Amino acid sequence: MSDREVIIRVENLHKRFGRLEVVKGVDIELHKGEVVVIFGRSGSGKSTVLRCINFLDDPTRGTIEVAGVRLTGGFRTRRKREQIRKLRLHVGMVFQQFNLFPHMTALDNVRVAPVCAGLKDNKAHAIELLDRVGLADKANEHPIRLSGGQQQRVAIARALAMRPEAMLFDEPTSALDPELIGEVLAVMKSLATDLHMPMIVVTHEMGFAREVSDRMLFFHEGVVWEEAPPEKIFEATEKPETRKFLDAVL
Amino acid sequence: MGDRLERLAVSSARIPFRLKVALVWVVIFAFLGFFFWVAKFDTDWMLDNFTFIAKGLQYTIYIALGGIAIAIVLALLGALARISSNPIAFGISGFYISFFRGTPLIVQMFLIYLALPQIGTNLHVQYPELFSRQFEDSLVLDPAVAGTLALGLNYGAYMTEIFRAGIQSVAAGQGEAADALGMTYRQKMRRVVLPQAFRVIIPPTGNEFIAMMKDTALVSFLGVSIQHAEVFRRAGLVGKADFKNLEALVLAAALYWGLTIIFTFFQRRLETRVSRGYVRTEPLRTAELPSEELSDLPPHGKGGGG
């Protein structure tokens, strides 16, 4: 679509759980500074694709390329395991259930990965990131004492701590109370507009998609059923399945 | 009769329950004292021999500490093998658990104490160039060492399951979050999974330790020399020598009992300690402390790059 640099490239991705094929040949390109929203019914393979990109689930077949690290699906060898780790350093992930480490303070949650990687000045950077998500004053709180929205913002700061070149958001607001969704979406929007962070967002927040995303992918039965800019998806979708889904959620 | 008991229950309803329970204990001890008095309980002999038997506590505790240290290491390795996808590690740990849970502890003690030297001798006789005299001698263990080893191996097998359950009780998302951050397996385990698992593991491990302190009495069957004998062995020795088995055994039982009461108290405190940081109603103490846990560590940590 454009000649901008490709940060994430997914080619012919297949994922099978036992006899059930969840993803049946998906191609995605994420360019520098681009926001892509993935939406679709539950079970359409959206989250699985996201988890395959950083190998939390191993692709059955296909190729994943993140910031120049190119890996194919299938069996994990020792060499591949190390490359998977390298690939993960280039891409941050935010989970539906936050998955903050409950035994660490917010600050330590953000710092732990840089400390493990031996990065210098990790404390100052962590405080800077907490400040970016508006939680510098909560640095020494444990996650249990934070609201869901605050926890998810810490999780975003944590994902940014390794200075990733792209971000993956797996339904980041689905576990939140309605009044807390806004603060998380605002942080995500600031990442897109201020930092020009490339990101793939699996979400049902159509307002966010319309406002922030450059492209939307409608997943249906394990394939990309429709791919278009948000204006086109919302105003003039060609596919009846997309229309039907949008009518149901809007 | 039932009527009278019920009237007693009603009229005493204002006395706190704990006080009543304490009263029951007092009565039990009074009865025991009376019983011992009737049975011509020799308290003078008990006083004379108290220091000798109580000195065994030192060795009882040594053996238990050694045993639990071995058991914790084995349980950790066993549990990691049990949840790994490596068939060799899984197979070895499966064999270990099955054997040491499937045979009596006392048999294991004698296997290590008596059977091991025989293996050494036979190997030395058959292949003298491969198995030296020193090798043969190294398999002849001090009874206390053999007992400690057997206790560690045996309890390690049981505790493997405790450790495995503890590790698996940590939500899958925790490991995934660590993976997604690019941590190595060792970093993930050390920084994320094990600290959370230990919260679950520590209380039952305390129970195992207390149980092991009582099982150290089995070591006495291996015939430890008097200077290094633990409580039960000492009680047996002096009790038989003076025909004072009742006094000696009661003394030994009381010492074990006291020991377990003390350690149960410490275990309770440990239990409340490890659950800190998970309770929302905790006072704000945690917030006031600077976050120094991580900054004290060298930048690479111990698992760096592994």
C-alpha distance across the termini of chain A, in Å:
28
Taking residues B243-247, report their average pLDDT.
90
Taking residues A73-100, report their average pLDDT.
92
ipTM over 0.90: yes
Residues of chain A with pLDDT > 90, as a percent, come to 89
Taking residues B65-93, report their average pLDDT.
95
Give the Å distances, CA to CA, from B161 to A114, B79, B139, B201. 33, 7, 29, 10
Q: pLDDT by residue (tens digit) across A3-33?
A: 679 999 999 999 999 999 999 999 999 999 9
Residues of chain A with pLDDT > 70, as a percent, come to 99
pLDDT of residue B269: 87
Task: Give chain A positions within 8 Å (CB) of B187.
Answer: 116
**Which fold is adopted by the domain B60-225?**
MetI-like fold (1.10.3720)
Residues of chain B with pLDDT > 70, as a percent, come to 89
In A162-221, the residues whose Cβ lies within 8 Å of chain B are: 162
Phi, psi angle pair for B238, to nearest 5°: -70, -35
Quick check: B293 pLDDT over 50? no
Q: DSSP string covering A73-123, please?
A: SSPPPHHHHHHHHHHHHTEEEE-TT----TTS-HHHHHHHHHHHTT-TTHH
Task: Give chain B positions within 8 Å (CB) of A107.
Answer: 291
Residue whose C-alpha is closest to residue A199's, from A56, A1, A37: A37
Quick check: B280 pLDDT over 60? no
Quick check: B202 pLDDT over 70? yes
Which of B183, B187, B287 is opposite residue A140, by nearest beta carbon? Answer: B287
Whether B199 contacts chain A with CB within 8 A: yes
Asked if the Cβ–Cβ distance from B293 to A159 is below 8 Å, we say no
- pLDDT band of residue B13 (cuts 50, 70, 90) is confident
pLDDT of residue A226: 95
Whether B180 contacts chain A with CB within 8 A: yes
Taking residues B59-88, report their average pLDDT.
95
Task: Give chain A positions within 8 Å (CB) of B302.
Answer: none
Residue whose C-alpha is closest to residue B109's, from B72, B155, B78, B77: B155
- pLDDT band of residue B253 (cuts 50, 70, 90) is very high
pLDDT of residue A2: 52
Taking residues A206-224, report their average pLDDT.
95
Contacts of B223 (CB under 8 A, 6+ apart): B143
pLDDT of residue B254: 94
| Cβ A40 vs Cβ A218: under 8 Å | yes
Rounded to the nearest angstrom, the minimum Cα separation between A234 and chain B is: 33
pLDDT: is B1 or B234 the higher one?
Answer: B234
Q: Does residue A56 sit in helix, strand or coil?
A: coil
Task: Give chain B positions within 8 Å (CB) of A99.
Answer: 171, 173-174, 176-177
- pLDDT band of residue A43 (cuts 50, 70, 90) is confident
Residues of chain B with pLDDT > 90, as a percent, come to 66
How many residue contacts between A and B have a Cβ separation below 8 Å?
99
In angstroms, rounded to a whole number, what is the distance separating the alpha carbons of residues A102 and B191?
12
- pLDDT band of residue B277 (cuts 50, 70, 90) is low
Asked if the Cβ–Cβ distance from A103 to B173 is below 8 Å, we say no
**Residue of B86, B278, B282, B294 to mutate when probing chain A, most A C-beta within 10 A:** B294
Q: pLDDT by residue (tens digit) across B93-124?
A: 999 999 999 999 999 999 999 999 999 999 99
* pTM for the structure as a whole: 0.79
Rounded to the nearest angstrom, the minimum Cα separation between A88 and chain B is: 5
pLDDT of residue B297: 44
- pLDDT band of residue B304 (cuts 50, 70, 90) is very low
Quick check: B295 pLDDT over 70? no
Task: Give chain A positions within 8 Å (CB) of B278.
Answer: 102-103, 144
pLDDT of residue B1: 62
Whether B172 contacts chain A with CB within 8 A: no
Domain coordinates in residue numbering, chain B: 60-225
In angstroms, rounded to a whole number, what is the distance separating the alpha carbons of residues A107 and A127?
7
pLDDT of residue B45: 92
- pLDDT band of residue B158 (cuts 50, 70, 90) is very high
Quick check: B285 pLDDT over 50? no
In angstroms, rounded to a whole number, what is the distance separating the alpha carbons of residues B289 and B298?
20
Q: Are strands A91-94 and A6-17 parallel, antiparallel or unpaired?
A: unpaired
Whether B181 contacts chain A with CB within 8 A: yes
Taking residues B171-187, report their average pLDDT.
95
pLDDT of residue B101: 96
In A26-55, the residues whose Cβ lies within 8 Å of chain B are: 54
Residue whose C-alpha is closest to residue A23's, from A246, A239, A219: A219
Quick check: A203 pLDDT over 50? yes
Whether B196 contacts chain A with CB within 8 A: yes
Quick check: B66 pLDDT over 90? yes
Whether A130 contacts chain B with CB within 8 A: no
Q: Which of A75-79, A206-210, B135-139 has the lowest mean pLDDT?
A: A75-79
Residue whose C-alpha is closest to residue B60's, from B202, B260, B201: B260
In angstroms, rounded to a whole number, what is the distance separating the alpha carbons of residues A37 and A178?
20
Taking residues A132-148, report their average pLDDT.
95
Residue whose C-alpha is closest to residue A87's, from A198, A195, A165, A196: A165
Rounded to the nearest angstrom, the minimum Cα separation between A139 and chain B is: 8
pLDDT of residue A50: 95
Indicate the helix (H) or strand (E) that contains B263: helix B245-274
Rounded to the nearest angstrom, the minimum Cα separation between A35 and chain B is: 20
Give the Å distances, CA to CA, from B170 to B163, B204, B278. 11, 16, 13
Whether A78 contacts chain B with CB within 8 A: no
Asked if the Cβ–Cβ distance from B295 to A123 is below 8 Å, we say yes
Give the Å distances, CA to CA, from B29 to B24, B32, B35, B40, B41. 9, 5, 10, 16, 14
Whether A97 contacts chain B with CB within 8 A: yes
Average pLDDT, chain B: 87
Find, in chain B, the residue whose alpha carbon is nearest to that of A158.
B181
Average pLDDT, chain A: 94
